[in-house]
Structure 1
Amino acid sequence: MDRPLDIFRALADATRLRILALVRRMELSVGELAQVLGQSQPRVSRHVKILADAGLLERRKEGSWVFVALGRAEVIGPIAAAIDGWGSTDHWAVADAARLQAVRADRTAAAAAWFEAHAREWDAIRSLHVADAEVEAAMAAVLGLDGEGGAPIGALLDIGTGTGRMLELFGDKARTAVGVDRSSEMLRLARAKLAGRPVELRQADLYQLPLADAAADVAILHHVLHFTAAPEAAIAEAARVLGPGGRLLIADFLAHDREELRAREGHARLGFADAQVAAWFAAAGLQTARVETLEGGELTVKLWLGRKGGVRLREVQAA
């Protein structure tokens, strides 16, 4: 089929233009798109299919939900540039953006409430699905901290620190160590656990980290990403605070179909595929440096390491 003709036919509808604009802001489920647009899910699904068939969107099934993401960059790029170049903003775009903010706020509030309610059980909840000792040893190896003494890792940032386990494990290998979490109850428990250690804990949103650009050498997202409303935005913000040569280590689940985890344990996403994380890394300016797979539990755990280009000035001076 003729790709340009398919694309322009797909975009020759106001609702589909609205859908494309929304998904350019963040990945959304079909249900969330229906909520923002004020239309039925079957109708939205039909529009999404047309856009997907034209290569403008991709659909990804996670349990009973279907998430919608942008298509390949070579297809989306020229269309996005044209739309932005025309610079037209109608009342639908303004209203949709406001409703999208409400959807995102609902996601965030639900996650925050779940964490506050389960803070005391947090370490036990994670152990139901993760062989912690195996995952932690693998993380140390990926970061080069498994040898005698281990190599220093500079400025460490633990994003979504929870009860502070990553700071407990790796904080003494860092020049400075900062943990960020949105939950005040989680931070209270982390402060008790880390009392006397030279670490800093801050209450902040992972989409708006309280650090300057290039402030961190290593950032960790340990079993955090599957709770996030917009994983791609969380990765982009983590990449922002990394300096040249900085590393982002994600420990999370491989894509699965355990739908009950949404309600029972507050999961927003049912794991991630390697290609999905690699695409988010690339969009955030990170290269995929290493991928590890840890099997044997109820869910498969993945480690994804992304590296930012460039070399820190102090590394050049040391050489």
Structure 2
Amino acid sequence: MELHRIYKALADENRLRLLRVIANGPYSVAELQAIMQMGQSRVSRHLKILVEAGLARVERQGTWSYYRAAGNGNEAARLQIDLLLRADLAGAAADEARRQECLERRRARAREFHQRVAPTWNKMRRELLGDGRAIQAVLEAVAGRPVVADLGCGAGKLLEELCRRAERAIGVDASPAMLEQARRALDGHAGCERVDLRLGQLEHLPLCDGEAQAVVMMLVLHHVAEPPLALREVRRVLAPGGVLVVCDLCRHDHEWMRTEYGDQWLGFADEQARQLLGEAGFEDTRLEHYQTPRVQLFLATARAPGRTS
């Protein structure tokens, strides 16, 4: 991309503010309107200039479009862009506060949905997982790990299996109603004394550094407001050499899943999953795929750097 086009795009302070926001992840035009306090046409015009300059890219998810910053291959331009984004821009602090409010609205929608469907969640989960081959693959991937954390544990179905196999199983969920369902399901279950249920957000996990030797995220990443932050948190709580297993939806265009299943993201492409895991610091990512009657799933396994103690 020609340098003059890049510098022209960056000459406007509002575009610098906008680029700083989308450098933190994908946002829809409606979300950017609220964050930037601008009208739709103005935001769209600035985004168009950034995209044409190669500084932003658009991702289509069903009928929605999300914008994120794009890496620029010109090293000189990249260094100057980094300096500009770190500059003290007027309004940047307010932008960041509104960005956090946007993320909290995403989290609130997910919490409200899961509070509402908690009594029927296991049935909904079965509809997506199909014949259970993906679950079996998850259990095999974490076999032999003493402490396993199930993040976004929902009503506790996977914990019923994990507590029979691990020395200790930790279930984390942001929904009190889901955790109550999990407590009821595990009550009297063989190995239930080895289960520790904790209320918390995936972006701010209630686990100590390196507490788990394995982490499972089963059908949860597409609900997370900020997946890169959640995966960095997973990296923090995994012991060196620990394994992460992510079972989630492949990229799709099923708009009905936003309302029927409360989805924030319409799945993830293989390249996107690899990139998210790599940027969070994971190694040796492997992907498998499973077709179910309703959706296609991917199973990603990755390892935290270092040796298992």
Query: Which TM-score applies when normalising by structure 1?
Result: 0.88
Does 2:296 align with 1:304?
no
Q: Which amino acid aligns with 2:220?
A: V
Counterparts of 1:4-23 in structure 2, within 5 Å, are 4-23=3-22
Aligned match of 1:175 in 167, 170, 176? 167
The residue type equivalent to 2:230 in the other structure is A
5+ long unaligned stretches in structure 2: none
Q: Distance in 2 between matches of 1:211 and 1:70?
A: 31
- Aligned partner of 1:213 in structure 2 is 209
- 1:277 matched to 2:280? The reply is no
How many pairs are equivalent?
303
Please give the per-residue CA displacement for 1:160-215, whole angstroms capped at 9, x wherever unaligned.
11011221122322232111111111111101111241110011111111112222
1:136-151 equivalent positions in 2, closer than 5 A: 136-141=135-140, 143=141, 145=143
Shift of 1:237: 1.1
- Percent identity of equivalent pairs: 34
Q: Retained in 2: the 8 A contact 1:179–1:200?
A: yes
Deviation at residue 302 of structure 1 after TM alignment: 0.7
* Aligned CA distance change for structure 1 residues 77 and 222 (closer, same or farther; 3 Å): farther
Q: Is the 8 A contact 1:281 1:288 kept in 2?
A: no
The equivalences for 1:262-273 within 5 A come to 262-273=258-269
User: 2:274, 2:285 within 8 Å by CA — same for their partners in 1?
Assistant: no
Separation of aligned partners in 2, 1:215 and 1:80: 38
Inter-CA distance 260–217: structure 2 relative to 1 (3 Å threshold): same
Conservation of the 8 A alpha-carbon contact between 2:169 and 2:196: yes
State yes or no: 1:101 paired with 2:104. Answer: no
Equivalent residues of 2:130, 2:293 under 8 A apart: yes
The amino acid across from 1:190 in the alignment is A
In the alignment, the residues of structure 2 paired with residue 79 and residue 279 of structure 1 have an alpha-carbon distance, to the nearest angstrom, of 24
Report the alpha carbon displacement of residue 77 of structure 1 after superposing the two structures with TM: 5.4
Residues 106-121 of structure 1 correspond to what in structure 2 (within 5 A)?
106-121=105-120
Which residue pairs with 1:149 in the alignment?
none
Paired residues of 1:278 and 1:288 also in contact (CA < 8 A): no
Aligned mate of 2:219, from 216, 223, 233:
223
Q: Is the Cα contact below 8 Å between 2:129 and 2:292 reproduced in 1?
A: no
Alpha-carbon distance between aligned partners in 1 of 2:72 and 2:118, rounded to the nearest angstrom: 40
Kept after mapping to 1: 8 A contact 2:289/2:298: yes
Aligned partners of 2:17 and 2:92 also within 8 Å: yes
Q: CA RMSD in A?
A: 2.0
Partner of 1:292: 288
* DSSP 3-state at the match of 1:82: helix
Alpha-carbon shift at residue 10 of structure 1 (Å): 1.8
Instruction: Tell me the CA shift for residue 158 of structure 1.
Output: 0.8
The reply to whether residue 27 of structure 1 matches residue 26 of structure 2 is yes
The correspondence for 2:149, drawn from 136, 149, 157, is 157
Deviation at 1:27, TM superposition (A): 2.2
- Matched with 1:83 is 84
Kindly provide the amino acid, as one letter, of the partner of residue 178 in structure 1: I
The verdict on how the C-alpha distance between 1:73 and 1:9 changes in structure 2, with shifts beyond 3 A counting, is closer
8 Å CA contact 2:55–2:72 kept in 1: the answer is no
Taking the aligned partners of 1:296 and 1:125, their CA distance within structure 2 comes to 13
After superposition, residues 173-252 of structure 1 pair within 5 angstroms as: 173-196=165-188, 197=192, 198-252=194-248
In the TM superposition, residue 79 of structure 1 has moved relative to its aligned partner by 4.3
Aligned residues of 1:255 and 1:272 also touching (Cα < 8 A)? yes
**Which structure 1 segments of 5+ residues have no match?**
146-151, 315-319
* Alpha-carbon distance between aligned partners in 1 of 2:297 and 2:267, rounded to the nearest angstrom: 9
Are the equivalent residues in 1 in contact too, given 2:54–2:72 (CA < 8 A)?
no
Q: Deviations over 1:46-85 (max 9, x none)?
A: 322322233322211001111122323756852453236x
The amino acid across from 2:240 in the alignment is P
Alignment check: 8 A CA contact 1:162 1:186 kept: yes
- Return the alpha-carbon distance in structure 2 between the equivalents of residues 290 and 277 of structure 1: 10
Q: Residue 128 of structure 1: SS of its match in structure 2? A: helix
* Aligned-pair CA distance for 1:244: 1.3
* 3-state SS of paired residue (2:294): coil
Say if 1:199 and 1:65 are closer, same or farther in 2 by CA, change over 3 A: same
Contact 2:13–2:89 (CA under 8 A) maintained in structure 1: no
